[in-house]
Amino acid sequence: MSMRQVFLDTETTGLSAEAGDRIIEIGCIEMLNRRLSGRTLHFYLNPQRPNHEDAVKVHGLTDDFLADKPLFAAVADELMAFLADAEIIIHNAAFDVGFLDAELKRLGRPPLEGHVGAVTDTLVMARELFPGKSNSLDALCKRLEVDNSNRTLHGALLDAGLLAEVYIRMTRGQDSLVIDEAESAAGEIAIEAVDFARFELPVLEADAAEAAAHAALLAELDKASGGKTLWPAAEAAVA
């Protein structure tokens, strides 16, 4: 049975769904069996209320830009079909789920968690892996060497993609989302055993000048250590 995960991020008019702030952007990226499938879902939404000024500084989505975008009600069916039965992976899940639940409640629909397979919060995961450290998405990208150089503003689809890369590195430690074809289903890489008996290794002997230089260097080291080097005794035992 394939494992289906959806990385989700939202942008909002402000910080409080309870106070009436609304979702203005949703980005979703699908992963099947820990590989990006290429399927994404992305909406800009008309929130039917003004943005907070501080929020616009974060996401750059102005009221004028959002004015002609669809309402959440118009995209709800497509969104919920995309999320159905998948493990939904979100950074600071309580925030995004709270906003999604508020939007669903306005439409008389049940909360998100009853519709999806599970919700995983990568902020909780990061705090367990890196206790006492900053675990924002930017901080995790820097710590796990995920390139976020294009992230001058927050964007839901861009952030969902960064989160997918961060999640893979937190849960597996590989260098990218691309899994080598030689990797087995168990997550192990098959390495061919090499029979070194097949190789004939040349032996290069030192000439007289090289041997003398080597002996002089060993004598200097022995003198510098106050006669405490071990190789003179070892050579005498062999002789």
Q: Which residues are catalytic?
A: 154
What whole-number distance in Å separates Cα of residue 171 and Cα of residue 236?
A: 55
Sign of the dihedral through C-alpha 84, 86, 87, 89: negative
What whole-number distance in Å separates Cα of residue 16 and Cα of residue 197?
A: 70
For 137-175, give one letter per residue: b (16+ CB within 10 A) or e.
beebbebbebebeeeeebbbbbbbbbbbbbbbbbeeeee
Q: Specify the amino acid at residue 172.
A: R
CB-based contact 167:7 (threshold 8 Å): yes
What whole-number distance in Å separates Cα of residue 190 and Cα of residue 58?
A: 46
